[in-house]
Amino acid sequence: MNQVLQLLLDGEKLTPEQIGKVAGLSRGEVEKEFRALEERGILLGWRPVISPNAELENTVRAVIEVKITPEREGGFNRLAERIARFDEVESCHLMSGGYDLLVFARGRNLHQVASFVSEKLSTLEGVLSTATHFLLRSYKEQGYLLDVTGLEKTRPDVSP
Amino acid sequence: MKLLDEDSRFLEGDVKETMKSDSQRFLAGHVRDLPKSGIRDFFELVSQMTDVISLGVGEPDFVTPWHIREAAIYALEKGKTSYTSNYGLLKLRRAVSRYVTGQFGVDYNPDHEILITVGVSEALDTALRAIINPGDKVMYHEPCYVSYNPSIALAFGEAVPVETSAADQFALDPAKLEAAWTPGCKALILNFPTNPTGGTLDRPRLERIARFAVEKDLLVLSDEIYAELTFEGTHGAIASLPGMRERTIFLHGVSKAFAMTGFRIGFACGPAPLIEAMMKIHQYSMLCAPILSQEAAWEALERGGDSVARMRDQYRRRRDFVVRRFNEMGLPCHTPRGTFYTFPSIAATGMGEKEFAVNLLREERVAVVPGTAFGPCGAGFVRACFATGYDQLTEAMDRVERFVAKPSVCHV
C-alpha cells in the first residue's frame, strides 16, 4: 500500500512534515501525494472522528433499512444515488439479505430524522418500505473505543 | 556541560552502595561478584527525569491484542486459578507443538518434549543449570541479551563470548566461533534475530555453525524469541537442520511477537531427557507458570497470527524510518533484518557510548542504551528501540540529530 496512505490509516496524528520524514519525502511531495489520492477518488476528505456520544448539534443518528424496487436499467443504482444525495444521509450501502439499502442518517433531533424518513425517503417512487432504528449509545466509532478508561502506562523507560 | 553526580557515578560504573554492611558476609561469593546490569543504572538515571522520549525499552509498545487479554479474563471468570502440570497445561503444550511444527518445521511431542516456563529467561536459566557441571564452558555471541553471561556464571559455568561486528551486520561469523572454541566447551547459545543488534543468520552460516556443533559435540540453546519479527527472508531455526534436533534446546515464548512481555510465558522444546531434567529444576523452583498466562498464551498461539503480522508490518516501517534517519545524521547504522532494535555506531561523535547516552539524555531528553550494557564489544554503539509511535520517533530523531550536530559534541 502507498506509504503515505498507510500512515494516515494507522491513525496517528501526524503533520505533513512528520509524514514526510517517516516516508522519506519532502513536504511538497507529501502534499502532492495527498492530491493524487484525492484525484483518484481514494481519499474522499478530511474530517475528525467525533465521539457519537458527544453532545454536539446534529447528533441524533439513525440506521434505516430500505427496501426498493430495482429497475430494468441500472438495478438499484439510480435510486440509491438519489437517496444518498440527501444531506441527512451520512452513508448509504447496498446490502445482501433481507433489505436492499442500509442508510445512516443524522439529524438535529428525532423529529428531523422522522420527517426525513416519512416525507422524503418513504415517498420516493420505488421505495417499498423503511425500518428506522435510532442509535442510543455508541461503544466504538471508526476503530476508536468510547468511554473506556484509558490504558495505564506500565512499560518502564529502560529495560533489557 | 558539567556533569551531575549521578552522571559521574554512572560513567565510572560505580555502583550506588547504600548499606555496605556486615550482612554482605552472608552472600555467596559468586553472587556478590556478579555485576549489576548496566541497564539498571541507566534506568535509575532516566527515572529521575521528565519529558524523556525513551528509545531504551526492550519490549513492544503495543498492548497485548484484545482477543488474548479477553481469553485471560475469561479464564479468570471461569475460576482457573489453580496450579497446572509442572510441564504446563497439556492443551498449551499441544498448541506449542503445532505452532513450532508450523512455523519452524521441527516436531516435538507435547507429552514429554515441551516445558512451559516463566518467560524464556527462566527457560534459559533452567537449561543452563540442567547441563552445566562447574567449569563447563558455554559459548555465545556478543553483544547479546544481558542475562547470558550472568546466567552462565550463576550455573558455575565459564562464559566464552564470541564477538560479532557491524561490518558483519552483527551475524555470528562461523570462523570466529571456531577460533574461540577450546576443549571443555559444552554448549552454544544462539539468539537470532539478536537483542540488541538486530543481527540475523543466513542459511549458509546457520548450516556451518550446525556442522561445527556436531563436530565438537556442542549442545545448542537457541533463543528464538524474536523469530517472528524477521522482516526480510524467512527465519531458519537451527533445530530444523539435519542432526540438530537431538542436540538443540529450542527456547521460545510469546513475549515479543505477541506483545505479551508481562504474561511471562516461555517454552523449551527438546529431547525428552533434557526437558525432563529441566522440568525437575522448574518443578522445585517455579512449580508451574501462572495458569492465566498459560491460557492467554494458548489463545495467542492458536489465533494470534494476524495480530503478529500487523505488528510486524508496523515495526518494519518504523525500522526503515529510524535507520534512514540515523544514517542521514552521520551515525552509521546497519538495517536490522529482525527485532525492534537499531544499533547505530556513535564513534563519529568522539564520545564513548556511555557519555553519548548520558549527554543525549541530559541535553535532549532522549534515552538510548549504551552498547556496552550488552557486552564489551558493544563499545562505540548504542541501542535504540523503535517500538514507539511515529510522533515520538520523529521527535526523538530530530533531537538526536540536533545533538550530534552541535559543534562541541564532545562534552566530557
Across the interface, whether the CB atoms of B43 and A7 are under 8 A apart is answered no
In the prediction, which pLDDT does B170 show? Answer: 97
Alpha carbons within 13 angstroms on the beta-carbon side of residue B42 total: 33
Range 284-323 of B in CB contact (< 8 A) with A: 314, 317, 321
B5-58+307-405, CATH topology level: Aspartate Aminotransferase, domain 1 (3.90.1150)
The answer to whether the Cβ–Cβ distance between A160 and B389 falls below 8 Å is: no
pLDDT above 70 coverage of chain A, percent: 98
Q: Rounded to a whole number, what is the distance in Å from the CA of B60 to chain A's nearest CA?
A: 9
Q: What pLDDT was estimated at residue B4?
A: 55
Q: How far is A7 from chain B (nearest CA, A)?
A: 9
Amino acid at A141: E
For chain B, give the percent of residues with pLDDT over 90. 88
Of A3, A151, A160, the CB nearest to B58: A160
Average pLDDT over residues B72-100: 97
Confidence band for B1, pLDDT divided at 50, 70 and 90: very low
One-letter amino acid identity for B164? T
Query: Nearest-CA residue of chain A relative to B373?
Result: A160
| Sequence-separated contacts (24+) of A40-45 with Cβ below 8 Å | A42/A5, A43/A5, A43/A8
Choose the mutation target among B10, B42, B52, B57 for the interface with A, i.e. most A CBs under 10 Å.
Answer: B57
Report chain B residues whose CB lies below 8 A from the CB of A13: 391
Neighbours of B338 (CB within 10 A): 27
B389: nearest CB among A12, A21, A156: A12
Q: List B residues 212-251 in contact with A (Cβ-Cβ < 8 A).
A: none
**Position A31: which residue type?**
E
Q: Does B147 touch chain A (CB under 8 A)?
A: yes
How much is the pTM? 0.88
Q: Would you state the pLDDT for residue B10?
A: 64
Pick from B38-52, B310-324, B390-404: least confident: B38-52
Average pLDDT of the residues in A48-53 = 86
Please state, in angstroms and rounded to a whole number, the distance separating the CA atoms of residues B305 and B228.
10
Q: CA-to-CA distance for B366 and B358, rounded, in angstroms?
A: 9
Query: Hey, are the CB atoms on B317 and A6 less than 8 Å from each other?
Result: yes
Residue of B nearest to A22 (CA): B321
What residue has cell string 519452524?
Answer: B104
In angstroms, the CA B268 to CA B87 distance is: 10
pLDDT band for B11, please (50, 70, 90 cuts): low
Mean pLDDT along residues B401-407: 91
Instruction: State residue B243 phi and psi, 5-degree precision.
Output: 75, 0
| Residues in B touching A7 (Cβ below 8 Å) | 390
Chain A residue closest to B146 (CA)? A160
Q: Do B321 and A22 touch (CB under 8 A)?
A: yes
Give yes or no for residue B9 having a pLDDT over 70: no
Q: Considering CB atoms only, which of B37, B367, B391 is closest to A14?
A: B391
How do residues B21-61 score in pLDDT, each as one tens digit? 688 899 999 999 898 887 888 888 899 999 999 999 999 99
Q: Quickly count: other Cβ atoms within 10 Å of residue B81's Cβ.
A: 10
Residue range A89-109: mean pLDDT, rounded:
96
Is B86 an interface residue toward A (CB < 8 Å)?
A: no
pLDDT-derived band at A50 (thresholds 50, 70, 90) equals: confident
Query: Which among B52, B62, B317 is the top mutation candidate for probing chain A, defined by the most A β-carbons within 10 Å of its own β-carbon?
Result: B317
The pLDDT of B79-100, averaged and rounded, is 98
CATH of B66-303, one of 2.40.30.10, 3.40.640.10, 3.40.47.10, 3.40.50.300: 3.40.640.10
How many other CB atoms are there within 10 angstroms of residue A44's CB atom? 8
pLDDT of residue B2: 47
**Facing B367 at nearest CB: one of A14, A21, A158:** A158
B3 versus B327: the higher-pLDDT residue is: B327
Q: Write out chain B residues lying below 8 Å of A10, CB-based.
A: 314, 390
The segment with the largest mean pLDDT, out of A148-152, B33-37, B89-93, is B89-93
- With CB atoms and an 8 Å threshold, state whether A22 touches B52: no
Question: Where, residue-wise, is CATH 3.90.1150.10 in chain B?
Answer: 5-58+307-405
The pLDDT-based confidence of B390 (bands split at 50, 70, 90) is very high
Is B130 part of the contact surface with chain A (CB cutoff 8 Å)?
no
Nearest CB among B47, B57, B147 relative to A155 is that of B57
For A85, other C-beta atoms within 10 Å of its C-beta total 8
Q: Say yes or no for a CB contact (<8 Å) between B391 and A7.
A: no
Beta-carbon separation of A159 and B39 below 8 A = yes
- Are A101 and A94 in contact by the 8 Å Cβ rule? The answer is yes
Closest CA to B135 of B159, B160, B149, B156: B156
For the stretch B186-201, pLDDT in tens is 999 999 999 999 999 9
The beta strand positions in chain A, using DSSP E, are: 60-68, 89-94, 101-107, 127-134, 140-141, 144-145
Angstrom distance (rounded) from CA B141 to CA B149: 10
Chain-chain contact of B390 with A158 (C-beta, under 8 angstroms): no
Q: Give the model's confidence band at A130: pLDDT under 50 very low, under 70 low, under 90 confident, else very high.
A: very high
The mean pLDDT of B13-24, rounded to a whole number, is 61
Is residue B391 within 8 angstroms of chain A, CB to CB? yes
Under 8 Å between Cβ of B170 and B334: yes
- 8 Å CB contact of A157 and B57: yes
Q: Range(s) for CATH 3.40.640.10 in chain B?
A: 66-303
In whole angstroms, give the CA distance from residue B137 to residue B250.
19
Sheet holding B369-370: strands in order across?
B341-342, B382-385, B369-370
pLDDT at B18 over 60: no
